[in-house]
Amino acid sequence: MDFPNRIPVFLLSGFLGSGKSTLLNAFLNDPGVRDTAVVINEFGDVPVDHLLVRKGETTISQVSTGCLCCSDTTDIRKTLDDLQSAAQAGLTAGFTRVIVEMSGLGDPAPLVNALSPEKTGTGQVKGNTSAPEYYLAGVVTLFDVVEGASSLENHFEALKQIAFADRIVVTKTDVARELEGPQDFGLLSQELRALNTSADIIDRREVAFSSLFSPRPYAVVDQGEDVVGWLALEAAMAHEAGHDTRSEEPQGESRHGAGIRTFSIVSETPLSEERFHRFLALLQNSAGQRLLRVKGIIASRDRPEEPLIVHAVQHSVSDPVRLAQWPDSDRRTRLVFITNGIDPDPVRELFTAVVDTSPISLTAFLKKAGPAFVGLILRSVSNLTRPSRRSQ
């Protein structure tokens, strides 16, 4: 289903670490893909996700920090207008499709409401009079077969992401096979079908990009009573809070619960890769599932012109990817952490104690850190005395 003179907008969702950037890169590298604008939304104050997405000649990448689902939903409409204004001014290439890569903690409900026909009464999302018309053409959600069950159990956002999808792409099936043996994709599909009765469920290894982001009728009523109810509740809450116009009061991270927070570490000095891996192993062993996500780019002391891209989800660490060159002019190490119930100060102090070029002063760190965090650290302190396997 295509609407002449209207631009389709697709939401790309999936919980933290499910593989959104990887899939987006594969899509953008497809020879048949062109004229696609990409909006990347990050849950954090230091943008790094845009460094992980390759920019083709016909691809626009716009970074938005701060969770879109927590802010006034006019943000997405303004972003769409800004993209078109840039194209009309000749600052970027034109586009005929937009993909919004949501943050891993993103709740689809506010964005679906913002892109719904009821916003204008015409089935169009329109800002200024010269802006084009947009419509919601699909919601693609990634489900990580390794960590997905835990995410659904512990995070309501993960469940809503599945419920709103009209395409569910199951990722990391190859990794799961290595860890746990053969996976029954049919059984997994049945379990997901219990959460979403209408979505197409696809193995990432068999996905056809030509259909994944092709315009189609996305109808809220097809997604079930829960989705309709969540959208109605979202609209009522937004109206009561006065969000029909831009609120002067930031919404922050309250939507995601008091314990969910993001913070960053930026280092001007290139790091020892061995020490960084020790820091990450110690932090993971101590924090466990409370360490929801770590991602970033590392300036290596041994190979300063070839940075490392690092990813970690709870206790799972992806193999670092070494880039042939820096993707931008910023040569600093930039790490973003998304955690549940972890104070950032002890993490920063641990980073300094383990990774800093000065001699490791774990004793000084332990004196400053909180008792609960120290207890966990002490149970994993042996990691400081032996190299990480990944650093060998």
Residue 384: pLDDT band (50, 70, 90) is: very low
Q: DSSP string spanning 232-295?
A: HHHHHHHHHTTTTS--SS--TTGGG-TTEEEEEEEESS-B-HHHHHHHHHHHHHHHGGGEEEEE
pLDDT digits (tens, 9 = 90+) for 231-241: 888 777 766 65
The total of other beta-carbon atoms located within 10 Å of residue 88's CB is 13
pLDDT digits (tens, 9 = 90+) for 279-313: 888 888 888 778 888 888 899 999 999 998 888 87
Residue 382: pLDDT band (50, 70, 90) is: very low
What does the pLDDT read at residue 170?
A: 94
Mean pLDDT of 331-355: 87
Which domains are delineated in the chain?
6-254 (3.40.50.300), 259-391 (3.30.1220.10)
pLDDT digits (tens, 9 = 90+) for 2-36: 555 789 999 999 998 888 988 988 888 888 788 88
CA dihedral 288, 291, 293, 299 (to 10 degrees): -100
Query: Exposed, middle or buried, 196 (CB in 10 Å: 0-12/13-18/19+)?
Result: buried
The predicted model scores a pTM of: 0.72
What's the token pair of residue 249?
């009061």
pLDDT mean across residues, the chain: 76
The three-class DSSP label of residue 140 is strand
Cβ pair 270, 301 in contact under 8 A: yes
pLDDT digits (tens, 9 = 90+) for 224-276: 888 888 888 877 776 665 544 444 334 444 555 557 788 888 998 899 999 99
Cα 22–chain centre separation: 11
CA 384-390-391 angle, 5° bins: 65
Cβ pair 284, 315 in contact under 8 A: yes
Percent of the chain with pLDDT over 70: 69
CA distance 295 to 95: 29
Cβ pair 282, 379 in contact under 8 A: no
